[in-house]
Chains A and B, each alone.
Chain A
């Protein structure tokens, strides 16, 4: 018996020398900063907003390197070109835009070095939010329940428009802060014309003011966010890392998205 114990100790001792994690310094070539374009056209609210930044180096801090010397133009369905002037650092916008379902819009960004980046998308159909359902969960179990005893999970209900290719995204605004980091996306392939019901994976507490937005979006930005969501959620089953495919050309990062929105605001009781 004694020998057996000694041997066991030897084995455990042997294994404890092994496997370790440590933080290392890697000698990585810093890539040339790339242009990041976040271009959104909200057809329901008739606004076009474009945010331009440059990527940071690997070991840099995370300050935003905004781009202030670019020219941003939007070409509408009738061929007219609308310029988006810079309204604050890196932020270019225009208001009062008129566009209808099916219109082809072209977003073009020319940077300080005269390089042109373009993306073309079509305006999606409208969407109407039918209702929001709140399921109360007690006990604080589940994902991110917080300390409150009762948390609420939201189910969003809406009707898909039949006979059209549809792409949807759901966003939530909690107490005036837009929730970022996760993407709730859906398409209607195989479910054309049916009633949709999707849960959100954030939980809300009593007293929270919650605005749920449902967006009907174009297919280009839908694929971009699907890619981005998959690339971020890498774990078991991950493959080689990659950059999400942008709908802008010329190797720009970011996306061009056109949306129609509907929203509802609720205060949790």
Chain B
């Protein structure tokens, strides 16, 4: 054992630098706004070694003493070359600009554009805010979640919903982070808009697999969304006025190049416009949502920087007698600290909550139902740039969860309703990971995460018999820590370069998930609620392997990839036949537990340059579940099983002022349970249902079109007009199908479609 440790230490040390080395480090920023550039590249021309900037724009390269030509590059910006004479530790901050092209730089730019082939990110999608703006979306809103659904491996929830499924996983298996704060419900207005106002965002990364070890808590994906810091150089205002909603963003320096602030707001006013036309019944109809994003940051010195970000959003829907509202609130406080040129640290404190309330005035009684989840989170992350071949990341995280599954009260009557006990839990994570350039061709990103989860009292845990009657009850006092789960999560990504333009990538990861979303209806609604793992409800575990081939063509004009994956899911939570989530104090008795498996093949072809750009994405996949108590223990299709999922997106610059974009989507309908007959029991006619999810909704397809015309583009003022048409050929895609047996005993299937053709006009500006 001792010999083994000595050898490993020796091997590790042999890659560690000697005292003759010096460090080149600093931050990379956008010259016009001062925004840090994330995942930008720093490359040493002479040795071919390089590193990417971290989530805060920081990079660090330790090299032997000498003279070097260092290239700093970022997609869409002019690469900068700097001659460095490295004989002491050098602090070099760089600002890149996007204007002014000259011949030499085009060549350099092209070389760095094979990032998708060379980086160690597997099964990852990075969304540039520029792309998202040119895609026609429902009602003219630019929406990152909607854009994600156009990419391979990501499928949409029912029509109009911005909830999504990644590689056949469930809707609660996606970790959505806004500046590190988890967002539990990213949908507005029954899913037609997401809560993300693109004007406030800088960078979005979706990990469909190959999640780095610093992320944990959900088994299917991680969507890491980073807000803009705010323009460090000058004050800017931008916004848009549309038919259904409007938005406004203001950003600027608190102190030039030292601190900045950004505020974004968005609101719909569908109710204000609709009210005059809906008559007296709806004279007090409220139907609106709003989003508020705020972020401020300040550099305390050369080594320290603090940030504060906050988000608050709410959906309100109701009349005098009926009300329904829900929303998220998050607050993140961060402190970046540079311990040395090689060691970067970030400490974060996060608060996040999601809650909803439902109120009905019936006769003299007010009935209300509410639920919420509240998180308090502390974490620390370290980047240690050991040498050009090894970048170590390690850190820890602790989240205190408070879950209020459901509180049901009736005012003004004798019964005082039911309240499910509040659940409290502590979720922890510790990780260590390394990004290593093993050879010229092989790069690895590997790590290990240890996650823990404990329930905290006061709480009464129950067990049930097969008829859902309570068998035993165990009571825990306030503050008791019980029922601790541990999970060891290995993560491994590997990239092997076949040549300059193609590579093979593979990954394996294991993920644990300790919170579960219970959904009542067959499509997600805001009344779904979260529960914590317990003695009965075990943590979900996913094991995923993925293998892909990446190739760029014609000087990086075309990007192509094909990727296959297999995901094995354990301890999936479902409802037994007839189980219900509404107002159920013994909800755990209605749950069944089983397995899942999903696998598929993803194709992606993208044209990145030229007047015409766009992509085709196609996924062939299968997603199945198995529960002992359901469907006679045979595997059945998950509701979101999409055999075929095709998206074709195109953007064409017709003239320098006029840009057109179009998208076509086609996918297999949801797997559903339909009646296959009918029979009489006790004098009533009853539907006879077939096997679980053995039937399909009709296939879904839709074509959207958009035009953007630049009205004015000067130094001081920019404005454009956007026309979006959703569902151009007015196809009535089925949202739900109901079966009714009429008085003559004839069974009728009635289909409800939500949206036909919807045009929308938006005027955008910034100054």
Residues of A within 8 A of B (CB): 7-8, 10-12, 14-15, 17-26, 28-31, 33-34, 36, 38, 53-62, 64, 178, 180-181, 189, 219, 223, 225, 227-228, 230-232, 236-243, 245, 253-255
Q: B655: which A residues are within 8 A, CB to CB? A: none
Q: Distance in Å from the Cβ of A38 to the closest Cβ of chain B?
A: 6
Verify A56–B751 contact, CB threshold 8 A. Answer: no
Of A12, A19, A225, the most chain B CB neighbours within 10 A belong to: A19
Encoded as 1 (CB less than 8 Å from any A CB) or 0, chain B from 577 to 612 comes to: 111111000000000000000000000000000000
* CB of A185, distance to nearest CB on chain B (Å): 12
Q: Nearest chain B CB to A171's CB is how many angstroms away?
A: 9
Contact between B577 and A242, CB atoms less than 8 A apart: yes
> Closest residue of chain B to A239, judged by CB?
B575
Contacts A11-B273, A19-B755, A55-B679 hold; do A239 and B749 have CB atoms under 8 A apart?
no
30 examples of A-B residue contacts, CB within 8 angstroms: A7-B243, A11-B270, A17-B730, A18-B756, A19-B752, A19-B756, A20-B753, A20-B756, A21-B750, A23-B751, A26-B674, A28-B674, A28-B695, A31-B677, A53-B679, A56-B679, A58-B677, A62-B680, A62-B745, A228-B682, A230-B578, A230-B580, A231-B686, A237-B521, A237-B580, A237-B582, A242-B577, A242-B578, A242-B689, A245-B577
Chain A proximity mask over B519-544: 1 for CB below 8 Å, otherwise 0? 01110000000000000000000000
In the bound assembly, the distance between CA atoms of A232 and B521 in angstroms comes to 15
Q: Are A253 and B750 in contact (CB under 8 A)?
A: no
Contacts of B221-246 to chain A: CB distance below 8 A: 243-244
From residue A245, how far is it (CB to closest CB) to chain B in Å?
7
Instruction: Report chain B residues within 8 Å CB of A58.
Output: 675-678, 747
Find out whether the CB atom of A23 lies under 8 angstroms from the CB atom of B749.
yes
Chain B residues engaging chain A, CB cutoff 8 angstroms: 243-244, 270, 273-274, 276-277, 467, 469, 520-522, 575, 577-582, 673-690, 692-693, 695, 730, 732, 734, 737, 741, 744-761
Q: Which residue of the partner chain, among B243, B692, B749, B754, contacts A19 with CB atoms under 8 Å?
A: B754
Q: Please tell me if the beta carbons of B520 and A31 are within 8 angstroms of each other in the complex.
A: no
Minimal beta-carbon separation of A195 from chain B (angstroms): 18
**Given A17-B757, A30-B677, A56-B677: A243 and B688 interface contact (C-beta under 8 Å):** yes
List chain A residues, Cβ under 8 A from B276. 8
Task: Report A-chain residues with C-beta under 8 Å of the C-beta of B273.
Answer: 7-8, 11-12
**A59→B747 CA distance, assembly (Å):** 6
Q: Is the CB of B679 within 8 A of A241?
A: no
| Beta-carbon contact of A239 and B580 below 8 Å | yes
**Cα distance, A24 to B730, chains bound together (Å):** 17
The 5 closest A-B pairs by CB, nearest first: A62-B745, A180-B683, A31-B676, A242-B577, A55-B679
Beyond A55-B677, A240-B522, is A61–B758 a contact (Cβ under 8 Å)? no
Q: What is the bound-complex CA distance between A239 and B746, given in angstroms?
A: 24
* A241-B687 contact given A26-B674, A30-B677, CB 8 Å threshold: yes
Q: How far is the CB of B381 from chain A (nearest CB, A)?
A: 41
| Contact indicator A238/B521 (Cβ below 8 Å) | yes
- Is there contact, CB below 8 Å, between A239 and B683? no
Is A38 within 8 A of B521, CB to CB? Answer: no
Check A22 against B750 for contact (C-beta < 8 Å).
Answer: yes
CB distance from B181 to the nearest CB of A (A): 30
Please indicate the chain A residues that have their CB under 8 angstroms from the CB of B689 in the complex: 241-243
Most buried by A among B582, B678, B757: B678
Known: A18-B755, A22-B750, A228-B682. 16 other contacts (CB 8 A): A14-B759, A20-B752, A22-B753, A24-B749, A26-B674, A28-B675, A29-B690, A54-B679, A55-B677, A62-B685, A62-B744, A64-B680, A236-B582, A237-B582, A239-B577, A241-B675
Contacts of B686 in A (CB 8 A): 228, 231-232
The answer to whether B681 touches A61, judged by C-beta atoms less than 8 angstroms apart, is no
Q: Chain B's nearest CB lies how many Å from the CB of A13? A: 9
B750–A23 CB distance below 8 A: yes
Instruction: From A33, A223, A236, A237, name the one whose CB has the most chain B CB atoms within 10 angstroms.
Output: A237
Cβ contacts under 8 Å, B678 to chain A: 55-56, 58, 60, 62
Q: Give the docked Cα–Cα distance between A243 and B693 (Å).
A: 13
B588 to chain A, nearest CB (A): 16
A202 to B646, CA, bound (A): 53
B632 nearest CB across to chain A (Å): 9
